[in-house]
Amino acid sequence: MRKMEGPVVVLTGAGVSAESGVPTFRGPEGLWRTFRPEDLATPEAFARDPVLVWEWYDWRRQRIANCRPNPAHRVLAEMEAALPDFTLITQNVDGLHQAAGSRRVLELHGNIWRVRCTRCGRVGEDRRVPLPEIPPRCACGGLLRPDVVWFGEPLPPAVLEEAWEAAARCRWMLVVGTSALVQPAASLPVVAHRNGARLIEVNVSDTPLTPLADEVLRGPAGEVLPRWWAACARL
């Protein structure tokens, strides 16, 4: 255990939100078990059948609306408040980090509570569940789509650039609840490690990142991360 000094970056993945009951992307239930998410979360699927795509996202939004931040979300908000140079990068789209109090959040894959007009480009928040109209429409009459990154789409350039910069200059990087398989997010810890950052992995099992980690915390993030942060705070 070392005293945390210098810039700190945290990268979170689906494992953090799964502890709050958020269904994982590839684990849909009920009506959607006959569909492959990869066949629904694409620009082509939306162009082909926006009603079907929005029915799936409306279902996901209803499930997420009942979820609450867990201790891992809350302790990361505490870390942000306590550390002068702290960046939280997430692959999650559920907004639970913000609900827990985190303010500086880089959302690599967008946010399921935002919508974007396919005609005028307007982006706004829409937390109505269930949606009164499927597919929803913008005031301009254009179709709205979830403001998330679909398969075949690039990540938001400005967000990704800021994430690369944060990873390159940090002295500490925590990788929490991510499989370390999805690119380009999986490369962020590698960049941090190559630039001399201390790399800490928090996960229930080994990942491709495990051999690079300076410290490995095994177990649910909601259990092990608060204990680890409490120990750091005492140093």
> Which domains are present in the chain?
8-21+69-109+155-233 (3.40.50.1220), 30-66+115-148 (3.30.1600.10)
Look at strands 8-12 and 172-176 and give their pairing. Answer: parallel
CA-to-CA distance for 197 and 173, rounded, in angstroms?
A: 7
Can you point out the beta strands (E) in the chain?
Answer: 8-12, 86-90, 105-107, 110-117, 123-125, 144-148, 172-176, 198-203, 215-218
pLDDT at residue 26 tops 60: no
Catalytic residue annotation:
109
* 118 and 99 Cβ atoms separated by less than 8 Å: no
- Over residues 36-77, the pLDDT tens digits come to 777 889 999 999 999 999 999 999 999 999 999 999 999 999
C-alpha distance from residue 235 to each of 34, 112, 213, 229, 231 (Å): 51, 38, 21, 10, 7
- Over residues 87-140, the pLDDT tens digits come to 999 999 999 999 999 999 999 999 999 999 999 999 999 999 999 999 999 999
- The 10 Å Cβ neighbour count of residue 58 is 18
* 177 and 72 Cβ atoms separated by less than 8 Å: yes
* 101 and 77 Cβ atoms separated by less than 8 Å: yes
Q: What pLDDT, on a 0 to 100 scale, did the predictor assign at position 31?
A: 46
- Quote the longest CA-to-CA distance of the chain: 57
Q: How confident is the model at residue 234 (pLDDT cuts 50, 70, 90)?
A: confident
For the entire predicted model, the pTM comes to 0.93
Cis peptide before 130 (omega within 30 of 0): yes
Q: What pLDDT, on a 0 to 100 scale, did the predictor assign at position 25?
A: 63
Q: What pLDDT, on a 0 to 100 scale, did the predictor assign at position 120?
A: 97
Tell me the one-letter amino acid at 142.
G
What's the mean pLDDT when you consider all of the chain? 93
